[in-house]
Structure formats: C-alpha cells, structure tokens
Chain A
C-alpha cells in the first residue's frame, strides 16, 4: 500500500484559478425567441461566469434577430469557454469578442435624477452642460438628465451629482459595436 498518499479529503481535485482576469465586451447575435434571455443568463449562472452588464434588443426585425451585448470579467481561458459555450446554444448565430477584436465603440445611456435648491441647481446645470447631459424633465426642485457615453464618463457624472442632491439613477447597460465598415 502507498502510505505516502494522504487523501485530500475530497472526491475532487481542488484548485484555485489564479490567472489574472480581464474585462471583455461580447456581442451575441441570437434569434429573438421566448426564453432566449433566460438561456443566456442561465448559461452564465450555471457555469459560474460573471455578467457585469447585459443589454438586449431586437435589431433585425425582418429576420427576428436580437443583439445582446454582454460585459464579463474572466481569465483568458474562461473567456474562451464563455464564447464557445454561448456558440453551443442552438438559437445563437454568432459570438464576437469585441474587446479582443480591438477597441470597440461602447456607449451607455443613463437617466439621472437630482433634487436641490439655490446654488446647487446652478452647479448641477453647469456640470450637466460640461458632460453634455440633456435636461429631459425639470421641476422647481429637481432635474432628470439624460446622459450617454462611455461607462466611465457616466460613473464620473453620477459621482459629481452625489453631493449636489442625487436621488436615483437608471442605466441601460452597455451597447457596443466594432469600428470600421464590417458587420459582425
């Protein structure tokens, strides 16, 4: 008998994934059918993948195709698995790793409600102008701004609004597209 073999106390080999993680934006072209979002989200949760942001809308009406933009954080090995597992789903047509393909255009829209009076209102409007946020609703005590841009720009705007009376924020999540003439 091999006495030097001390059992590990588990039926499985336990190891940590110590690889560095990266944030990637994936674009997924799917059939717009009932349950497709649950299929995508369920795959991520079942296999322990992360979703940082998920945006879905039908984009090609005559073919009934939706485009899903997923932002995920994973090691390069897991990123490959995410892409291949997504492609394995029957209603998935294409998966593109936009980040890997190079510097995609990424935009997000947020509606930001800010309440305040006096000097704060003036400062709020000044900052909104600097960020090109549009006023889409106003009352004597509040504004709702519409702001689009990179996620980092929106984060920055929201952070600046906190001391000025930020009430609440709603964000669409990221929409991304590749640069240049080619379609996915």
Chain B
C-alpha cells in the first residue's frame, strides 16, 4: 500500500528517490511547506543562494560537471521570474535541470494575489517542458516525469509549479516507475544502422575529413568522449570542437585542432572551409560557428549526428543525418570501421595534414607579449601552467575573457569546462563555480571572469563563504566590457558608448568584506607568485588581475564573413592598418 504524506513531503521524497543529494534555492511564502520538509530530513543538502538566478546557474554548473540533473527550488512570483534567465540558459545549452517553483493556492490563481505570476506561462518557451500541479494525485507522477524529461534525450530544464494548497494536501506517494513507455515522449537514442554504415563509407573515402564536435558529446557522458578519441585515433582525422564541446577531446592530442568559430583557431576554421567530409557530432551549426551561411564549407559532404531531429537541416542542409545519442553512434562507427578495414589511412590523409600544418604555422593565437602590463592571454597561460597537475574545473562569465579561456586553457577531460554558450549570460560563472564546488568539494574550481560580468552575480560569493566552498574567481580586469568595446571599435568607429566600467569596487576590499581573500596583481613579473598565493589559500578568493585595457580578442571571423576570411592577430588596431603577412594568409 502506498504511503500517505503531504505534497511538500512528496516533493522531498521524490527528490530523494531520484538520487538528488544537493539542491539550490531560496525560500519564500509559497514554498514554506517544502522548506519545512527539507528541515526535517538530512539526505539532501540545500544550498541557500543570494538570488534565484544564482541558484539556476549553480544547478547548471552542478549538472554540467556531474552529468546529473541540477535541482532548484524557488518561491512564486519574483522567485520564479528571477529564475527565468538560468532556465533559458539551460535550454539553449541543453543542461538537465528541474526547477520547482511555489505558486499561490489554486483558489487564488488568476486573482493577482501577492507574489503571484503566471509561472507556466512565462516559462513555457524557456523550458523543455513545464507543469502546473493542480491536484495532489498528479504530484508524484509529475515529479518523476520531470526528472525523466530533464535528463533524457536532449537534456533541458523542466519547471514544476506547485500551488501552496497542493503542498499542504495529503495524498498517496508512488515511487519512480519506468517511464520509457511515456505516452508521447520518446527520444530516439539509437542511430539508424544503415545510416551509420553509410557514414563510415564516406569516412573511408574521405581525403580531407574533419570531426566537428559539440556539447552533445559531453551530454552523452564520459564514455562518449573516450569513444570520440578512439574513433579519431582509428581514423586519423583532425578534431575541432565548439565552445560547448571543449574537453571532450584532449587538447594535448596531436589531432586536436582547437576550437572553431568566430574566435576559433585559423587551422580549425580553414579546415572546416576546405574539408571534403564534415562529421558533425553533437553540435548544431550555431551562427557563432558557421559565419556566413552561404559560404559555409562549400565543397564538403556533411554528416550530422544529433539526438534532436529538429537540429537537422535547421540552418545548414546536410547530406546524411543520423538521429541518436552521440555515444551510441560513436560506438557503432568504431565497430563498423573495424569490420571494414584494419589498414591505416595515414598515407591517404598525409596531404591534408600537410595543409593543416601550414595553417597551424600561422600561429593564430600569437599575441604581443609585454613586460609592463599583464596581457590577458598571458594570464590564462600562467593560470593553466600553475594548475596543470590539479583536477581543475573552469567556469567563465561571458565576453573576451571567456573566449581567451577557451583559446588558451587546454582541456583534457569532459565535464571540466562550464560556460554559457547559447544564451551568453554574463554572471554565469561565479554561481556555476559554486555549483561545481558543491559537487566536487576537493577539486580546484576557478571562475575565469571579467570585471563587468562578475558584478552581475557577485553576491553569490557570500554563498561560497557560507558553505566553505573555496572557489577562485580570477578576474581579468580591463575596466571595460571588453567584447562590447571590441565590437564598438570594429563596427561603431571606436565610440565606446557605455562600455567603460565606471566606479569599479575595490575587489580586494570587497572580497574581505564578504569574508574571503582578495589578491591584486598588476605586474607580469609578480603574476606567478600571486596565482600561487590564490591556489594556496584554503577558501574563496577574488583575484583582481589588472590586464591591458584595450586588447582585442583574436583571431576573429567578422560578422557576415566566411571561415576563410578571418582577422588574424597582429600588432595593429582592428580595421586600420594592413599587415602584409596577414593579408597574404587569408
């Protein structure tokens, strides 16, 4: 016989039965019964945030670094609306999340009651699915279904809106059931074998192939990354990745081409443009990747592996779509490749690699070093060098520092890189770092930040203090919203409208005010020592790294341009002086 309990107790019981160990939330009138149920148990640790947006990004960081579903609990009205940014972020980056929101009692819904908002209406287009639970009888089923939908297929955020009277109501709880027989939701996990075989046939004939991989490989679990490496080594093909897919393929591997796209490496973009076979695994031809669509990889056969059928042919028409889980498809590709050949393709691919080496020789990540001022690229390189033997997780905010982190920090393992790709949410990194540290208490978690972004969710530093989460916030402080400034330089005649960070706080004193440690470094000669001081401190640190103010993030595909029309780094300002070498290269 099923157990009787209140709605609030059911929610907590369901979380426990779903294996939840941590949740991020903020109390309020409409969720008090659930907070009471949390108080009376000790299986789930609740992390009290400072703002609901912080809770959602923490859940994202937690989910991305563990592969588990992140859980958020917020109250009605402003609690729910504050969570909208993080829900949208999770939707665009396919992060599994269950967000439980309180709601005013069912009898008051629609009356403009205190702290009422139409949560399911507001979140309908920024969630994978959402529910308003009007009857206690539906609550256990919906709770379990929410986890299944959030975590399966193409992952995403699910909102469960629970009116207060339903939290108080008593009903019968039921344990999680097998949901693979859901009446209308059936994600396709196994790729069509004939298509995979056709893909391998293309691969066996390819002369200039490239793997273009994305966040789907991370979502498919660590095994998918191992299989990617195996397949890459088996075939001898080069591998490039989107921002979201970094870490799926080790940066130290000689087949690694670096990130592609708007701020990707020259060799990766040139290889995408000139390839004869593109194998897209778990990426979605985002506009930051493709550049000008009508000039995107004009002469290639395109294979697209994606778990979401709606990603196929959305922006780029492909020759061979394969719907399925990346890991399954990779496994099958390896198996079928082995049945068809055991010969190395090295000779056939040699001219391609020769060409790639020429592109690599351009060294598109070069920058002009300085003895007087810390170059942001140099700062990332030194941070990477100082942490290379540690289990290090990197989160970022959004902007130039994010791109520099992606370019200069070498990622060897999946799930160690958390960034806001699709939505581009400034303020993501600090709370995401808190979420990662909650999941990995002994790991080194660093938020590579900008001074503008970090102020958007700065208050979560207080959460890190409260729960003894020793996150390191490494701020590349150039006193500008750097990417905005760069675009203004490129497109708007250098009129820096509202992009200067006026009235910055003293980050060292700010860290101390929170109860953490603050470090400032302005001299490149002191940087290594300062970074070591940060790493040695057992607690949260704000590191104010003063970097050169008007550095541009290069290389870059300017908007409206193709992959083979990159701006390469040189010593001049963008768009002014012609560098003869650079001109010849592209």
Chain A residues close to B by CB (< 8 Å): 1-3, 5, 7-15, 30-31, 34-35, 38-39, 42-43, 46, 77, 80-81, 84-85, 87-93
Bound: A14/B292 CA distance, A: 9
Chain B residues close to A by CB (< 8 Å): 120-121, 124-125, 128-129, 132, 134, 149, 183-185, 287, 290-294, 308-310, 312-314, 317, 487, 490-491, 558-561, 565-568, 570, 572, 574-579, 582-583, 586
Instruction: Name the contact of A7 in the complex, choosing from B287, B309, B558, B583 (C-beta under 8 A).
Output: B558
Bound: A34/B131 CA distance, A: 9
Evaluate whether A93 and B183 lie within 8 angstroms (CB atoms) in the complex, with A1-B577, A15-B293 already known. yes
Asked if B183 and A1 make an inter-chain contact with CB atoms under 8 angstroms apart, the answer reads no
Asked if A11 and B132 make an inter-chain contact with CB atoms under 8 angstroms apart, the answer reads no
Asked if B308 and A88 make an inter-chain contact with CB atoms under 8 angstroms apart, the answer reads yes
Asked if B125 and A46 make an inter-chain contact with CB atoms under 8 angstroms apart, the answer reads yes
Asked if A91 and B184 make an inter-chain contact with CB atoms under 8 angstroms apart, the answer reads yes
Evaluate whether A90 and B149 lie within 8 angstroms (CB atoms) in the complex, with A2-B568, A7-B491, A38-B124 already known. yes
Bound: A165/B393 CA distance, A: 75
- In chain B, what residue has the closest Cβ to A11? B559
8 closest residue pairs by CB, A with B: A8-B560, A84-B310, A90-B129, A93-B184, A3-B578, A1-B579, A46-B125, A90-B185
Main secondary structure of the interface of B (DSSP, over half): loop
Asked if A5 and B561 make an inter-chain contact with CB atoms under 8 angstroms apart, the answer reads yes
A-B contact pairs, 12 of them (CB 8 A): A1-B582, A3-B575, A7-B491, A7-B558, A7-B560, A11-B487, A11-B559, A34-B132, A35-B121, A38-B124, A39-B124, A90-B149
Query: What chain A residues lie within 8 Å of B576 (beta carbons)?
Result: 1
Instruction: Name the contact of A1 in the complex, choosing from B128, B149, B570 (C-beta under 8 A).
Output: B570
Asked if A1 and B310 make an inter-chain contact with CB atoms under 8 angstroms apart, the answer reads no
Bound: A15/B290 CA distance, A: 14
Bound: A150/B487 CA distance, A: 54
Asked if A13 and B124 make an inter-chain contact with CB atoms under 8 angstroms apart, the answer reads no
Asked if A2 and B184 make an inter-chain contact with CB atoms under 8 angstroms apart, the answer reads no
Bound: A91/B142 CA distance, A: 13
Asked if B567 and A5 make an inter-chain contact with CB atoms under 8 angstroms apart, the answer reads yes
List 20 additional A-B contacts (Cβ < 8 Å) besides A2-B586, A13-B290. Answer: A1-B572, A1-B582, A2-B565, A2-B578, A5-B567, A7-B490, A7-B558, A8-B560, A10-B560, A11-B487, A11-B559, A13-B292, A34-B134, A39-B124, A43-B125, A81-B313, A84-B310, A87-B310, A88-B309, A88-B310
Query: What chain A residues lie within 8 Å of B292 (beta carbons)?
Result: 13
Bound: A136/B397 CA distance, A: 66
Asked if B309 and A84 make an inter-chain contact with CB atoms under 8 angstroms apart, the answer reads yes
Asked if A7 and B310 make an inter-chain contact with CB atoms under 8 angstroms apart, the answer reads no
Asked if B313 and A77 make an inter-chain contact with CB atoms under 8 angstroms apart, the answer reads yes
Chain B min CB distance to A16 (Å): 11
Query: What chain B residues lie within 8 Å of A43 (beta carbons)?
Result: 125
Query: What chain B residues lie within 8 Å of A81 (beta carbons)?
Result: 310, 313-314
Instruction: Name the contact of B583 in the complex, choosing from A2, A30, A39, A77 (C-beta under 8 A).
Output: A2
Asked if B310 and A3 make an inter-chain contact with CB atoms under 8 angstroms apart, the answer reads no
- In chain A, what residue has the closest Cβ to B560? A8
Asked if B565 and A5 make an inter-chain contact with CB atoms under 8 angstroms apart, the answer reads yes
Asked if B149 and A80 make an inter-chain contact with CB atoms under 8 angstroms apart, the answer reads no
Bound: A2/B490 CA distance, A: 12
Query: What chain B residues lie within 8 Å of A8 (beta carbons)?
Result: 558-561
Asked if B567 and A92 make an inter-chain contact with CB atoms under 8 angstroms apart, the answer reads no
- In chain A, what residue has the closest Cβ to B262? A11
Asked if B558 and A13 make an inter-chain contact with CB atoms under 8 angstroms apart, the answer reads no
Query: What chain B residues lie within 8 Å of A30 (beta carbons)?
Result: 184
Bound: A43/B577 CA distance, A: 47
Bound: A75/B280 CA distance, A: 25
Bound: A31/B570 CA distance, A: 59
Asked if A5 and B558 make an inter-chain contact with CB atoms under 8 angstroms apart, the answer reads yes
Bound: A14/B128 CA distance, A: 28
Bound: A143/B272 CA distance, A: 68
Chain A min CB distance to B432 (Å): 24
Asked if B575 and A7 make an inter-chain contact with CB atoms under 8 angstroms apart, the answer reads yes
Asked if B559 and A13 make an inter-chain contact with CB atoms under 8 angstroms apart, the answer reads yes
Instruction: Name the contact of B310 in the complex, choosing from A5, A9, A42, A85 (C-beta under 8 A).
Output: A85
Query: What chain B residues lie within 8 Å of A7 (beta carbons)?
Result: 490-491, 558-560, 575
Query: What chain B residues lie within 8 Å of A84 (beta carbons)?
Result: 309-310, 312
Chain B min CB distance to A44 (Å): 11
Asked if A2 and B293 make an inter-chain contact with CB atoms under 8 angstroms apart, the answer reads no
Asked if B583 and A3 make an inter-chain contact with CB atoms under 8 angstroms apart, the answer reads yes
